[in-house]
A and B are shown apart, each in its own frame.
Chain A
Amino acid sequence: GDSVTQMEGPVTLSEEAFLTINCTYTATGYPSLFWYVQYPGEGLQLLLKATKADDKGSNKGFEATYRKETTSFHLEKGSVQVSDSAVYFCALSDLGSGNTPLVFGKGTRLSVIA
C-alpha cells in the first residue's frame, strides 16, 4: 500500500539556519503531495502542496519539489525562525485509490533556538 517515510526527529537548529526535512513516498497511482504543520496544542495546517511531478510548492519561505524520479518531496527553508518550531508532517493523497484519507508520515519535530 501507499506509504510516506520522513526523517526521524527531533531536529534542533539555531535561528537563521538552513532546514531540510526529508520525505519519500511509495504510491500505486499518481499522488498529490503535502506538507502539514502542527503548532503546539493545535490541529494541522496545510503548509504547501504539489499535485504533479516537478511542481514546487512554497509558502512562508518553505518550499518542496515533487520529484517523481526519486519519489521524494523534501521540505526546505533557507533561514528558520523560532516561530517555525512545530511538528511537520509529509502526506500523500492517491486519488487512484478512491476517496481514501491522506497517508501521513510519522512527523518531524523541529525546535529552533534563538
Chain B
Amino acid sequence: GAVVSQHPSWVICKSGTSVKIECRSLDFQATTMFWYRQFPKQSLMLMATSNEGSKATYEQGVEKDKFLINHASLTLSTLTVTSAHPEDSSFYICSARSGTSGRGEQFFGPGTRLTVL
C-alpha cells in the first residue's frame, strides 16, 4: 500500500530556532501534499496544500512566512517552522495524494511532535 513517512517523529527546540519537517511518499508519486496541525484531543486543522513545483496554498489564518512549505519533487515536501515559539508546539501531520489515488483518498504520515521550549 501507499506509505508516507515523516522525519523527525519528534523534535524539541529552543524558542527562536527554525525546524524543518520532511514528508516523503515512499512508493508512489505525490502530486499533492497537505500539511495539518493537530492540538491535543482536537481534529486536524489544514494548514496548506501544495502541488509539486508550485507555491503552496495556505489556509486563512496560517502565516506563510512562518510556515514555509516546499514541494520540490513528487516524493518530498518539507515544512519549516521559522523562528519557532512555544505556541507553535503541536503535532504536525502530512498527507499525500497521487494522481491515481482512488477517488480522492489521502495517505497520512505518522506525524511529528514539535515542542518549543
Interface of A with B (CB < 8 Å)?
Answer: 32, 34, 36, 41-46, 49, 51, 89, 93-95, 99-102, 104-107, 109
A-B contact pairs, 19 of them (CB 8 A): A32-B102, A32-B103, A32-B105, A36-B108, A41-B113, A42-B111, A43-B6, A43-B93, A43-B108, A44-B95, A46-B107, A51-B102, A93-B106, A95-B104, A99-B51, A101-B106, A102-B106, A105-B43, A106-B42
Mostly, the B contact residues are strand
* Residues on B with beta carbons closer than 8 Å to the beta carbon of A46: 105, 107
Number of interface residues of B (CB under 8 A): 26
CB distance A106 to B34 under 8 Å? no
The distance in angstroms between the C-alpha atoms of A33 and B65, with both chains bound, is 34
5 closest A-B pairs by beta carbon, nearest first, are A93-B104, A32-B103, A44-B108, A43-B108, A43-B110
A20 to B111, CA, bound (A): 27
Q: Is B32 an interface residue (CB 8 A)?
A: yes
Question: Which of B43, B107, B109 has the largest number of chain A CB atoms within 10 A?
Answer: B43
The answer to whether A106 touches B43 (Cβ under 8 A) is yes
Interface pair B43/A45, CB less than 8 Å apart: no
> What is the CA–CA distance of A97 and B34 in the complex, to the nearest angstrom?
16
Q: Which of B44, B46, B105 contacts A93 (CB 8 A)?
A: B105
Tell me the bound Cα distance from A51 to B105 in angstroms: 10
In the complex, the answer to whether B41 meets A109 with C-beta atoms within 8 Å is yes
Q: Which residues of B contact A51 (CB under 8 A)?
A: 102-103
Q: How far is the CA of A46 from the CA of B106 in the complex (A)?
A: 8
For the complex, is B37 an interface residue (Cβ under 8 Å from A)? no
Distance of B36 from chain A, by nearest CB (Å): 9
Complex formed: what's the CA distance from A100 to B51 in Å? 11
Chain A nearest Cβ from B11, distance in angstroms: 14
B97 near A: Cβ within 8 Å? yes
